Amino acid sequence: MKRYNYRAREKATGKQVKGSIQADSERLAGRLLVQQDLIPDSIVEEGTTNPFTKFNNRITTKDHIMFTRQLATLIGAGLPLSASLRTVTEQTENKGMKAVGEEILAATESGKSLYEAFSAHPNVFNGVYLALIQAGEKSGTLDIALKRLADQEEKDAAMLGKIRGALVYPAIILVVIIAVLLFMMFAVVPQVRDLYEDMGEELPGLTQGLVNLTDFVVNFWWLLLLVLVGGIAGAVLFVKRTPMGKKVADTFKIHVPIFGGLFRKLYVSRFARTAEMLLSSGVPMVDSVKIAIDSVSNSVVEAEYSKAIELIKGGKSLSESLADREYMLPLVPQMTGIGEESGKIDEMLGKAAKVYEDELYEQIENISTMIEPILMVVMAGLIGVVVGGTLLPIYSLVNSVGT
C-alpha cells in the first residue's frame, strides 16, 4: 500500500482538514475519504517531492488534448460521466495528467459538478476550458464542448509548431555566422598578427582592432560568459516576475518589425475564435468577451480590448465596442456587425478568425524567406569586415615584399 497526504473539507461543516491515508491508488484514497464524509481537495503520494518529479510529470499540450478528446468521445458515446472519467484516467500515460484525472474523478464521485472538479486545477485548465465545461454541463452538450476544446487546442498547437519550425532555418544561419566569425578570429587573425610581427611591420588599423578583440575574448571569456548568462537570466526574471517586464515584452511583440503584424493577427484570431466557441455554447455575451480577452495572452492587447466591456455594459453593440479598439483588425468588427444583423454573431466571428488564421499560416511559411536575405546581408557584412582585416593586409604585405 502507498501513503497519501490529503487536504479535504468536512462534508457537514466545510472545515478544512489535513492528514494522511493508506491506499493502493489515489482513486481509492479519494473513495476512502468520501466514505469518511470528507470532500477531497488534493491527494498527493508521499515521496513525490523529488526535484525531477515536477519535470517528469509535466503535462504537455499533447497529453491535455488526448485527455479532452477521449473524454468527449466517451461521453458522446453515451457512457456515464464517472465511467468516462475513470476510463480516460486509466488510459492516460502521463503521471501528472493521471493524477489530475483521479482527483477530478474523486471530486465528481463525492457530489461535485464537473465544473467544480475541473476548477480545482486552474494551472491545468484555463478560463476558456472551464467556461465551456460549465456551459456544456448546463446545456447537456458536454461532449460537443469538449470536442470544440480539443479541436481548438490542436489548432493552437499546430500554429505554435509552425512558428517554431519557421524559425529553425534562420537560427541555423545565425549559428553558422557566429561559427565562421569565431573561426576567422581565433584561427586566422592570430596567424596574420604573427606574420606581421615576424616581418617587423605594423598592423593596419582594422587588423589591429580584430587582434585586440580576439585577445580580449581569449583573456576575458569568463567575464563575457558571466555577462551573457547574467543578462539573459535578468531579462527572463524581469519579464516573468514583474508587471513592468511583462508589459515591455508584450509591447515589443506587437511592434517588432516583421513579427509585429504576425502577433497582432495571432491575438485577433485567438480572440475571435474563443468568442465564437463561447457564444455558440451559450455563454453570455459579457462573459464570453471577458474570457476571450483573457485568452489573448498579451497584457497590452488585453488592456485595450477590455475597454469594450464597459461599452457593451453601457448598451453598445459588440461591433461598435470593438471598432475603435487599437490592435483590433477591422474585419472582426465588420463581420460582427453582419452577425448582429443576421443573428449569427458566433458564426461571423468564426469566419473572421478563419481569415486571419489562413493569413497567419501563409505568413509563417514565408518567414524564412523574409528573414534569409536580411541574415545573408548581415553575414556578408560581418565576414567582409573580418576578411578585410585578415586577407587584405596579407596581400599588402606580399606586394610590399615583392617590390
The string of DSSP codes covering 291-308 is HHHHTT--HHHHHHHTHH
For 284-296, letters b (16+ CB in 10 Å) and e give: ebeebbbbbbbbb
- Cα separation of 388 and 378, whole Å? 15
Query: Helix 345-402 and helix 142-183: axis angle, to 10°?
Result: 10
pLDDT of 226 above 90: yes
Highest mean pLDDT among 128-142, 178-192, 320-334 belongs to: 320-334
Distance (Å, whole) CA 67 – CA 129? 13
| pLDDT of 50 higher than 60 | no
Is residue 402 over pLDDT 60? no
Residue 336 near residue 348, CB atoms below 8 Å: yes
Mean pLDDT of 89-101: 86
Residue 110 has pLDDT above 50, yes or no: yes
- Cβ atoms < 10 Å from Cβ of 7: 14
Q: Return the CA Rg of the chain.
A: 30
DSSP per position, 216-242: HHHHSHHHHHHHHHHHHHHHHHHHHH-
Q: Is the four-CA dihedral 256, 262, 266, 267 of positive or negative sign?
A: positive
Q: Which CATH class is domain 163-403?
A: mainly alpha
Distance from the first to the final alpha carbon of the chain = 92
For residue 3, the SS3 value is strand
Q: Against a cut of 0.85, is the pTM above it?
A: no
Q: What is the pLDDT of residue 170?
A: 76
What band does 351 get if pLDDT is binned at 50, 70 and 90?
very high
* Extents of the domains making up the chain: 2-125, 163-403
* pLDDT tops 80 at residue 216: yes
- The pLDDT score that the predictor gives to residue 47 is 56
Average pLDDT estimate for 192-197? 76
Which pLDDT band holds residue 57 (cuts at 50, 70, 90)?
Answer: low
Residue 239 pLDDT greater than 80, yes or no: yes
Confidence of residue 399 (pLDDT cuts 50, 70, 90): low
- Give SS3 for 330: coil
Q: Around 32, how many Cα atoms within 13 Å sit in the side-chain half-sphere?
A: 16
What integer is the mean pLDDT of 191-202? 74
- Whole-number pLDDT of residue 53: 43
How far is CA 74 from its chain centroid? 29
**pLDDT reading at 51 higher than 50:** no
Partners of 3 in beta bridges: 22
Residue 82: per-residue pLDDT: 87
Q: What percentage of the chain has pLDDT greater than the value 70?
A: 92
Q: What is the pLDDT of residue 352?
A: 92
Residue 54: predicted pLDDT: 44
Position 87 pLDDT exceeds 50: yes
pLDDT in the model for residue 230: 92
Q: Tell me the pLDDT tens digit for each residue of 270-324.
A: 899 888 888 888 888 898 898 888 888 888 999 999 999 989 988 889 999 998 8
- Cβ atoms of 3 and 21 closer than 8 Å: yes
Confidence band, pLDDT 50/70/90 cuts, at residue 52: very low
CA nearest to 393, candidates 256, 233, 208, 232: 208
Whose CA is closest to 33, among 96, 114, 111?
111
Mean pLDDT for 341-362 is: 89
Residues 6 or more apart whose CB falls under 8 angstroms from that of 56 comprise: 95
Percent of residues, the chain, with pLDDT higher than 90: 10
In the chain, % helix, strand, coil (3-state, to 5) comes to 75, 5, 20
Say what the pLDDT of residue 227 is. 93
- Computed over every residue of the chain, the mean pLDDT equals 82
**pLDDT of residue 327 exceeding 60:** yes
Which three three-digit cell numbers place residue 227? Answer: 555577462
Q: What is the structure's pLDDT at 397?
A: 66
Q: Which three cell numbers stand for residue 128?
A: 476558456
